C-alpha cells in the first residue's frame, strides 16, 4: 500500500465547488490521500469527478455527515489530520420551502462533524497539533447591503435572513465555538457567489444557459436589480487550497470576486454569449426574459471585501469575468449530456440502484 504523508477529508466533494476542490487536491498533491465524504443527495453527482475517480490517492465514501460514529471511524482508519467541510444544503429557494432539512444538514451535520473530529483528535497522541478543521461558508451570513453600503469585511456582524443563511451562520458559530472552547484549530472562509462548470441547474447561471438552449422562459425574480458578487469556481478552489496550507488557525477570511453585477446585467451578458455560441442572432433570446414574483425575503446586495486574503496570503482572482463566463457557457453547451442526465433525474436513479444493497 502506498504511504501518504497525510489524509484529508473533503465533505461534499461530489457537489459543485467540492468537485473542483477534490480534483485540484488529487492532482496537485499526489502524496495526500483525499477522501471524498458525500451523502450523494440530489446535488451530489460522482460524474463530476469521472476524470480522477481512479487516481491512487482518491477515495470516495458515501456517508452522511450527521453520522458521527461512522465519520469518527473513518477518521481513525486513515489517521485524518485535515477536514475541509463543504457538504451542505446550498440553495436558498429550497431552504424557503423546507428549512428543516437545512437545519439538519448544515447545523447538526456540522456539529456532528466537529464532534467526530474532537473525539478522534483529542484521543490521538499529538492532540490537536498538525490538525485543521476548515469550514467553507458564504457571504450570505452577513445579511444584505444597500446599494451605497461598504462591502462585507470579516468584522461585519452576522445578520442572516434566509433559512439557508441562518443555518450557515449557525454552523459558522459552532465551528468558532469549538475553537474557543476546546482549542480545535479551525478556519472559516466566507465566499461570494460561485459560477462555472458542474453547478447544479437550479442556480441562476446553469439554469439560464439550459433554458436559453431549449428556448424556455428565463424567470427573473422581482425587477432583476439584486446584486451578487461572482467568482469563478476554480479561483475559489485555489483560495481554499492556499488557505488550508497557509492560513492561520482561528482566523476568518473573506473570498470574493471584486465583481458585482446586477442580476439583469448578468443575464443580458449570459444571453449574449450563449446566443453567439449557439449561432443565434445577437439578442435573439432576450425575448425569453420573464419577470416573475420575487423570492421571499430576497437579499438586495452581497459584496465581499477580500483584501485581508490579498494582504496576508497574496490571493486574488485569476480570471476576468468575461473570460470566466465564456468558459462556463462553452462548458455547459459542450456537456449537454451531463445536463440532460441531471434534468431527467437519471443520475439519481443510477446511485439508488448502485447503493441499494449496501
DSSP E strand boundaries for 91-141: 132-138
Pattern 82-121, ligand TYD, x by CB under 6 A: ----------x-----------------------------
Q: Could you tell me the smallest distance in angstroms from the CB atom of residue 155 to ligand NAD?
A: 19
Catalytic hit among 38, 64, 139, 305: 139
Task: Verify whether residue 182 is a known catalytic residue.
Answer: no
Is residue 43 involved in binding ligand NAD (CB under 6 A)? yes
The grid cell for 75 is: 477518521
Query: Do 87 and 116 form a contact (C-beta atoms < 8 A)?
Result: no
Q: Is 189 helix (H, G, I), strand (E, B) or coil?
A: strand
User: For residue 152, what are the CA distances in angstroms to 103, 157, 186, 224, 301?
Assistant: 24, 9, 21, 22, 10
Is residue 193 involved in binding ligand NAD (CB under 6 A)? yes
The shares of helix, strand and coil residues in the chain, as percent rounded to the nearest 5, are 45, 20, 35
Task: Verify whether residue 241 is a known catalytic residue.
Answer: no
Pattern 79-98, ligand NAD, x by CB under 6 A: -------xxx-x--------
Query: Do 168 and 116 form a contact (C-beta atoms < 8 A)?
Result: no
The grid cell for 349 is: 436513479
Task: Give the HSE-up count for residue 202: Cα atoms under 13 Å, Cβ half-sphere.
Answer: 12
By a kind-dependent CB cut-off of 5 to 8 A, residue 154 interacts, out of ligand NAD, ligand TYD, none, with none
Give the integer Cα–Cα distance in Å for 342 and 319: 28
Query: Do 192 and 255 form a contact (C-beta atoms < 8 A)?
Result: yes
Task: Verify whether residue 322 is a known catalytic residue.
Answer: no
State which residue, 38 or 260, has the beta carbon closest to ligand NAD. Answer: 38
Catalytic hit among 164, 195, 253, 347: 164
Is residue 216 involved in binding ligand TYD (CB under 6 A)? no
Is residue 203 involved in binding ligand TYD (CB under 6 A)? yes
Give the integer Cα–Cα distance in Å for 254 and 141: 12
> Which window, 2-10, 72-80, 215-223, 327-335, contacts ligand TYD (CB under 6 A)?
215-223
Which residues of the shown chain bind ligand NAD in the complex (CB under 6 A)? Answer: 11-12, 14-18, 38-41, 43-44, 64-66, 86-88, 90, 105, 109, 136, 138, 168, 191, 193-194, 200
Which residues of the shown chain bind ligand TYD in the complex (CB under 6 A)? Answer: 92, 193, 203-204, 207, 219-221, 226, 228, 263, 295
Which active-site residues does the annotation give? 139-140, 164
Amino acid at each position: 500500500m502506498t504511504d501518504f504523508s497525510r489524509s484529508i477529508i473533503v465533505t461534499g466533494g461530489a457537489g459543485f465547488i467540492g468537485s473542483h476542490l477534490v480534483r485540484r487536491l488529487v492532482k496537485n498533491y499526489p502524496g495526500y490521500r483525499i477522501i471524498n465524504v458525500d451523502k450523494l443527495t440530489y446535488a451530489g453527482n460522482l460524474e463530476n469527478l469521472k476524470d480522477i475517480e481512479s487516481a491512487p490517492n482518491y477515495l470516495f465514501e458515501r456517508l452522511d455527515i450527521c453520522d458521527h460514529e461512522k465519520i469518527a471511524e473513518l477518521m481513525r482508519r486513515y489517521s485524518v489530520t485535515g477536514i475541509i467541510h463543504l457538504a451542505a444544503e446550498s440553495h436558498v429557494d429550497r431552504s424557503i420551502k423546507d428549512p428543516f432539512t437545512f437545519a439538519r444538514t448544515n447545523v447538526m451535520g456540522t456539529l456532528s462533524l466537529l464532534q467526530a473530529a474532537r473525539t478522534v483528535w483529542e484521543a490521538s497522541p499529538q492532540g490537536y497539533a498538525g490538525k485543521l478543521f476548515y469550514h467553507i461558508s458564504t457571504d450570505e451570513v452577513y445579511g444584505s447591503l444597500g446599494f451605497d453600503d461598504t462591502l462585507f469585511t470579516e468584522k461585519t456582524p452576522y445578520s442572516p435572513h434566509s433559512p439557508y443563511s441562518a443555518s450557515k451562520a449557525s454552523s459558522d458559530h459552532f465551528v468558532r465555538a469549538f475553537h474557543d472552547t476546546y482549542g480545535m484549530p479551525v478556519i472559516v472562509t466566507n465566499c461570494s457567489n460561485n459560477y462555472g462548470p458542474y453547478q447544479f441547474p437550479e442556480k441562476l447561471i446553469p439554469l439560464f444557459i439550459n433554458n436559453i438552449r431549449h428556448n424556455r422562459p428565463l424567470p427573473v425574480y422581482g425587477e432583476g436589480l439584486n446584486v451578487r458578487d461572482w467568482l469563478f469556481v476554480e479561483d475559489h478552489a485555489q483560495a481554499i487550497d492556499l488557505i488550508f496550507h497557509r492560513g492561520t488557525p482561528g482566523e476568518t477570511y473573506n473570498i470574493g470576486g471584486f465583481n458585482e453585477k446586477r442580476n439583469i446585467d448578468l443575464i443580458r451578458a449570459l444571453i449574449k454569449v450563449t446566443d453567439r455560441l449557439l449561432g443565434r442572432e445577437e439578442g435573439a433570446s432576450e425575448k425569453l426574459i420573464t419577470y416573475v414574483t420575487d423570492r421571499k425575503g430576497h437579499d438586495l446586495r452581497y459584496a465581499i471585501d477580500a483584501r485581508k486574503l490579498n494582504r496576508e496570503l497574496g490571493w486574488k482572482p485569476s480570471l476576468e469575468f468575461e473570460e470566466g463566463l465564456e468558459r462556463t457557457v462553452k462548458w455547459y453547451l459542450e456537456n449537454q449530456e451531463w445536463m440532460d442526465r441531471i434534468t431527467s433525474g437519471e443520475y439519481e436513479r443510477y446511485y439508488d440502484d448502485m447503493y441499494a444493497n449496501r
